[in-house]
Amino acid sequence: MKKRNLFTSALCLATFAALPFQAAFADDAYPNKPIHVTVVWPAGGGHDLVGRLIGHELSTIMDTAVVVDNVTGAGGSTGIRHIAKADPDGYTIGVMGLHAVSQSFMNTSAPQLDGLDPLAYVSDEPGALQIAADTGIDTLEAYVAAMKEDPMGLMNGNDPQGGNSFVFAEVIPQALGTDMMRLPYPGHAPTVTALLTGEVQTATLPIPPILEHALAGTINVLGVASETRHPQLPDVPTFKEQGYDVVVNDFVMLVGPVGIPTDIRAKLEAGLLAAVNSEGFVAAAKKSGMVLRPLGATDAAAELAMQQELVYPLLENAGLVAPELKRD
Amino acid sequence: MLLTSFIDVLLGYLSSPLMLGLVVLGTVLGLVLGAIPGISSTMALAILMPVTFTMEPGVAMLFLISVFMSSVYGGSISAILMKLPGTPASIFTQIDGYPMAQQGRAGHALNFALVSSTIGGMIGLAMLVLLAPVLAEFATNFRSPEFAAVALFGIVMLSFSSNGSTLVASVVGFIGVILGMVGFDALTDAQRMTLNTPMLQSGLNLVPMIIGLFGLGEILQNLVGFAQTPKVRPQIGKVMLPLNELTSRWKVMLRGSVIGTFIGAIPAAGSAVAVSIAYAQERRLSKTPEKFGTGHADGIVAPEAANSASVGGSLIPLIALGVPGDTITAVLMGALMLHGLTPGPLLFANNPTFVAWIYVSVLLALIATLVVGLGMIRAAVLVTRIPPQLMYVFIAVFCVIGAFAIRNDMNDVYVMIAFGVVGFVFSRLSLPVTPMAFGLILGPILEENLRRSLMISRGSWSIFLERPISAVLILICVFLISIPLLKWSWVKLRAL
């Protein structure tokens, strides 16, 4: 019995003794331990896919393990806070989109965006308007006519306030001069299901979740809210082509906490850009319907600032900006 | 056409040692990951997805489906041995599984779970193969009013979910419903009962609450008076089950499987709903409802058959419509996209071989889970031989890990501890905690769909009666509630 205790304590001591060595080894050049990519939505969604695909490429490029952490909840705020509060050592980065911008205006407890440092811009996710094929409507013109006749005739499925398809559902009807009855669904997958089962007739989702259904002909895409046509749906005209001046998009970018040392930040930015431009990522992303537009850190920051200016008035008009966060 | 390609693929897989090896590897990984509390089937798949990057699509599918199927049973192992559900699908297994293990019948409990999982899975698969188009049709009729009616049905069933007073069960269930509202409202993102704190904004996640209520609550309960009367370790007992114990429960298995498949087929309903309704249903039909919760085999068989059957069910909308049935199939869909096969109506129409891959993969995964699972039972039951004082420490550690891992959020650990105290206080006061689990699972579903239905009908409640499925469900609810009244009137009438 005594012998066993001796052994146990020796083992414990050895373990503790080894701890500082681990730290000592860690002084080498960046990166020398796993990089954590925070995804603020649950496993299986669009952001999760981006995080895992980029993580896979990044691990080869930077020659270190990359771990994806799904830190979810509170409309994405919990995950964004996790990124903003992380040690700025280059080992915690995250995937973010429009939701963080909306939350920063709507939710007083959500982290403000000045706590985040954009590292690379990945893609645009243009808004679009879809309609179930069995409504028989296949042109924007026919849709606008139908909505003018009976504004409550067709119901639209979209996110709760602040989600990208909610923002699209605010902006697109304004440009079309129509009204819209909006039914909220918690996420894109339930919205697609509602559109397919006929609970709603239209939706304002971005292209990736409905791409296959559009190709199969069960859903008609009436217009895309971007400057150019969507690469995966070249036959669908933009709203601009059809005479309605509306351009609105969500985005995917990679961010880290503010204060990453300059040399590490540069390495990280270069690695992320290489990952976004890698053959494997480009092929997979295109197939899933993403519109890649890889940009470096400076341009990503400019895009983020632009999105803030776009979203603020929308949320303010809808009465969603929290009183404490109102601009003068 | 489908049958021939099914047999072709099956023979192809069976004759390849690589494929069989992958099935076994996937099964072992799924069992282990599923058994770790906090790693749900969804996360097990997400974690192992990168492993399949370099595989052929069919091979990747086989591997991932093996992980998926076996993780469903894996979750039950920790539920039975430690009263900690490894996955949300196993939250009802512990209610009878853990007492059975404490009575020295851990092997039996695991066997019941494993065999009914396998049979449930087979029935789910058979229904997937034979009835996919019909069930898909049924599933597309499920819109917000039907969802609301199902959730209502489940909540009515909760009064059958525990021993003792129905009133008490209903009140506890109602507390569960209210707790399910904490956080961001699903339809408007408005905050409710958050006290404007980041911690409560994340909402109270189901898994940490269940781990706290059942796992930590149980430890605290055991620690009371532990010093005076140390608990004895339960005997391992016989591991193998007499066959007749299983065959005599064929009805329970069948009912659980059918419920599981149907609920699994409804997009977004998920296995937690399937197990809660299957458990309550069985308890209601049972001749000995008071035995539930004390280590009754039916209480393990019904939810286990249901959670495995819901796997087959959840693949139905994926194959027939191209929409994922739940979060787990959503991850599978993500994996397919990585392999250049974006699921959707086109993929399945143009690639019948692909559908055959999925069917064969589910079949092989079920068989592998049974074989590997049976082999592991002997080793797994040794867990019950660990001295209690050590075991409680292990369970406490797993409670913390499990609560944290579900969302990588420390707040969930605090929630777990708080609910551990709640679970302890409840058991001291002899209040049932099971109805709270029902409220937590079904409350948010009811609320979201009720509100959306009323938005669609512009405030008219008649929407629930105009649609046949919801009308029938609501009539059943009314009937269930009025049974005591009917019984009473019957007795009075007879006395006249």
Where do the domains of chain A lie, and which CATH numbers do they carry?
35-124+250-325 (3.40.190.150), 128-224 (3.40.190.10)
Closest by Cβ to B189, choosing from A44, A56, A162: A162
Dump the DSSP string for B427-473.
HHTT--SHHHHHHHHHHHHHHHHHHHHHHHTTT-TTHHHHSHHHHHH
Cβ distance B408 to A44 less than 8 Å, yes or no, reads: no
Query: pLDDT tens, A121-157?
Result: 999 999 999 999 999 999 999 999 999 999 888 999 9
Nearest to A109 among B185, B198, B203 (CB): B198
Q: What is the pLDDT of residue A88?
A: 93
- pLDDT value, residue B219: 85
A316 interface with B at CB cutoff 8 Å: no
Predicted local confidence at residue A101, as pLDDT: 92
What's the pLDDT score for residue A9? 59
Residue with tokens 């280059």, as numbered in its chain: A90
- pLDDT for the residue numbered A4: 54
d(CA B295, CA B235): 15
A23: pLDDT confidence band, cut at 50, 70 and 90?
A: very low
Helix or strand run (H / E) with residue B407:
none
List of chain B residues with pLDDT < 70: 1-2, 38, 159-163, 226-237, 268-269, 325, 337-338, 340-350
pTM: 0.81
Q: Which of B9, B226, B245 is nearest to B115 (CA)?
A: B245
Task: Check the CA dihedral A176-A182-A187-A193 and report its sign.
Answer: negative
Residues of B in contact with A211 (CB under 8 A): 342, 344
Query: What per-residue confidence (pLDDT) applies to A26?
Result: 47
DSSP code, position B191: E
Helix, strand or coil, per DSSP, at residue A45: coil
| A15 band by pLDDT with thresholds 50, 70 and 90 | low
Q: What per-residue confidence (pLDDT) applies to B344?
A: 62
Which residues lie below 8 Å from residue B426, measured CB to CB, with a gap of 6+?
B172, B213, B217, B432, B433
Q: What's the confidence (pLDDT) of residue A20?
A: 47
Q: Which chain B residues are closer than 8 Å to A161 by Cβ? A: 188-189
Q: What would the pLDDT profile of A234-293 be if each residue is shown by its tens digit?
A: 999 999 999 999 999 999 999 999 999 999 999 999 999 999 999 989 988 888 889 999
Taking the Cβ of residue B413 and every Cβ of chain A, the question of whether any pair is shorter than 8 Å is answered with: no
Q: Between B378 and A80, where is the model more confident?
A: A80
* Cβ <8 Å between A70 and B46: yes
A277 reaches B (C-beta below 8 A):
no
**Distance from C-alpha of A254 to C-alpha of B81, rounded to nearest angstrom:** 42
Do the chains contact at B203 and A73, CB–CB below 8 Å? Answer: yes
Residues 296-325 of B with CB under 8 A from A: 317, 321-324
B338 contacts A49? CB cut-off 8 A: yes
CB of B286 within 8 Å of any CB in chain A? Answer: no
* CA gap A112, A100 in Å, rounded: 9
pLDDT computed for residue B314 by the predictor? 85
Q: What is the CA radius of gyration of chain A?
A: 23
Per-residue model confidence as pLDDT tens digits over A150-201: 988 899 999 888 789 998 998 899 899 999 999 998 888 888 888 988 899 9
Q: How far is B468 from chain A (nearest CA, A)?
A: 15
pLDDT of amino acid A21? 47
Which of B201, B268, B337 has its CB closest to that of A109?
B201
Q: What is the pLDDT of residue A24?
A: 43
**Sheet strand arrangement including A35-39:** A66-70, A35-39, A92-96, A249-257, A116-126, A291-295
Q: How far is B58 from chain A (nearest CA, A)?
A: 17
Q: What is the ipTM of this complex?
A: 0.78
A49·B334 Cβ contact <8 A: yes
Closest alpha carbon within chain A to B200:
A74
Please state the separation of Cα A131 from the chain's center in Å: 23
Q: Using CB atoms, which residue from A73, A186, A194 is nearest to B202?
A: A73
Whether A190 and B188 lie within 8 Å, measured CB to CB: no
pLDDT value for A43: 73
A297–chain B nearest CA distance, Å: 27
The confidence band for A5, taking pLDDT boundaries of 50, 70 and 90, is: low
* CA-based nearest distance A14→chain B, Å: 23
Cβ–Cβ contact B221 with A under 8 A: no
Length of chain A: 328
- Domain limits of chain B? 2-495
Q: Rounded CA gap, A217 and A131, in Å?
A: 11
Question: A177: distance to nearest CA of chain B, Å?
Answer: 23
